[in-house]
Structure 1
């Protein structure tokens, strides 16, 4: 995966600690992780997501063309209505996750950092005779997240993607610093944003997914996959599993033992507590965080047949599960 080279200017704000890994380029936090989480949960502040890729599609056929490629029904998407969609492989495995809104003339979408080049290459390969133009706008626009309940003013002319979780602004990158200096503050780091995402059981491409993840395993059916629309790549797998089978794995939410100093990271094996650290691996941690109220929490993918009341361990950390995707 290629990384976008832009380093957020907000990393120069007081207390900013740079994030690492896939969130490199923005702040992990600004000095007080739990304060930032509480602010975000209370509907105040903003999150700098300027490391995410921004892609636009213009042209008269933009919606009807995207409708043929995406898992979501977008051919008649009303202007201003937010949605999310996936692009699947021929075998139904998740390749891209797109967070979209159409402003009446342009479809705006933000995607995982570094995935925009591969996404654009795929879209360009599928244009054929359709009147649709795809552009990488990552250099020009930065994504900024305002939490649900925020009363912060939005600059005139800003494209907004509003959902139950808050509003994503496609802000001109040149205006990022002036926005941060305005009434929307305080700035909140990506770790607080991720903790609340885990609490809300919302999957993230590259964290909750691997090369063989299908949408059913993560609960993306309904929110990102429309089961009544026509054919798209991977649709046969989606329909077959939905109508005839069961996904091989399921997403779970974990309450982790708070006495442990270190959080189990992405990929940490999940086993039955009764079998101990040498037992058979039944899944793995996808994302973990320290939550201001819940303590250490995580999302994990486990095999479908793991009992919902089973006591689990992540490496040596005790983990009590909550069902996200029914087995």
Structure 2
């Protein structure tokens, strides 16, 4: 089965996929208040089985870690690309807090798209995280253009957790449910599906790239949440103080983050895909880097990256080296976010007192957000 079949079936709810994500748990009497204090998100008011997204920033507002969170009564489940690294960071921030942080390498994370029979099956094995992208969640704001529609408007991604010891059982239950569906199936957009699929991580990645959906794997040492339009889902602008809040508030009010996310449609005449870190050029001038790429069933080779705020739209060139061999591809660039870098909903949503409290006091050292 080709990636076309796999991605179509996955998108239509007739498949599950590897995601490359991992999980950890946070429990204890202080878990919700502690996570709220450390992160960009409010956790203290979450209901059972509710999903949100959070970022952990450094003092300059740059993204260190990103995680989806599901609150399961007394335990928070966090979905992230590197559970070990996030666990280590959280352990370093415990101090006197009554919390327990545990990486869960005994759990596999599968992805699917709703509506799907997979949700009913996987809910029996563990929590389900419902991706809020690209909605603007409470306290959030948008940086992408004020278009009538977002390319991710139908992006109904879900993540489910299955313990290693129950993998065979989960497979069997999924097969049993899908066998009750009439095959082949015709999709609304004219594709024919012969069977449900277990898709690869690259299939999952292609669908989220097409939706402009950032992951924690897309960051570098300078990434600000504004640059990836991450304030839609992962930052609550009206919450109390947290590490990096000053930068978040200042850029929302003043605009001009140093870089902007870019969606790239790559030259399809080559079978090569640029790796993370491949350089983007406008003519002879380096303007940014690629952070993730994949082959999409309709758009062909696509990628997400970050470019300088003043980088031109239109044609760019992607360049990278593998061993002694140099490669380059033409890329049609769509810039995510307007040139000024001003959010188009933040001005009415941000808590002015929170911004004032986060702003530098007279005589204090100004924060360099340009990096």
After TM superposition, the score normalised by the length of structure 2 is 0.73
Are 2:247 and 1:237 aligned? yes
Q: Deviations over 1:71-116 (max 9, x none)?
A: 111121122111111111111111111111001121011211xx32
Secondary structure at the counterpart of residue 261 of structure 2: strand
Alpha-carbon distance in structure 2 between the residues aligned to 1:192 and 1:160: 20
Note the 1:1-327 alignment, pairs <5 A: 32-49=2-19, 52-112=21-81, 115-139=82-106, 141-152=107-118, 153-155=120-122, 156=124, 158-163=126-131, 165-183=156-174, 185-206=196-217, 208-272=218-282, 275=283, 279-308=284-313, 310-315=314-319, 316-327=328-339
Q: Deviations over 1:142-175 (max 9, x none)?
A: 2121212212332535322223523211222211
Alpha-carbon distance in structure 2 between the residues aligned to 1:40 and 1:157: 20
Work out whether residues 55 and 65 of structure 2, in 8 Å CA contact, stay in contact via their aligned partners in 1: yes
Q: Deviations over 1:172-228 (max 9, x none)?
A: 22111221233255211111101001001011223x211111111111113111111
Alpha-carbon distance in structure 1 between the residues aligned to 2:214 and 2:22: 18
Instruction: Please say which of residues 260-269 and 211-220 is displaced more in the overlay.
Output: 260-269
Q: Which residue of 2 aligns with 1:24?
A: none
Secondary structure at the counterpart of residue 230 of structure 2: coil
Greater C-alpha radius of gyration: 2
Aligned length: 286
Aligned-residue CA RMSD in angstroms? Answer: 1.8
Alpha-carbon distance in structure 1 between the residues aligned to 2:255 and 2:18: 40
CA gap 1:121/1:295 in 2 versus in 1, 3 angstroms? closer
After TM superposition, the score normalised by the length of structure 1 is 0.82
Alpha-carbon distance in structure 1 between the residues aligned to 2:334 and 2:116: 29
Alpha-carbon distance in structure 2 between the residues aligned to 1:41 and 1:157: 22
Deviation at residue 229 of structure 1 after TM alignment: 0.8
Alpha-carbon distance in structure 1 between the residues aligned to 2:54 and 2:69: 8
Q: Which residue of 1 aligns with 2:142?
A: none
Alpha-carbon distance in structure 1 between the residues aligned to 2:214 and 2:125: 30
Tell me, which stretches of 5 or more residues in structure 1 are unaligned? 1-30
Q: More relative contact order in 1 or in 2 (CA 8 Å, sep 6+)?
A: 2
Tell me, which stretches of 5 or more residues in structure 2 are unaligned? 133-155, 176-195, 320-327, 340-371
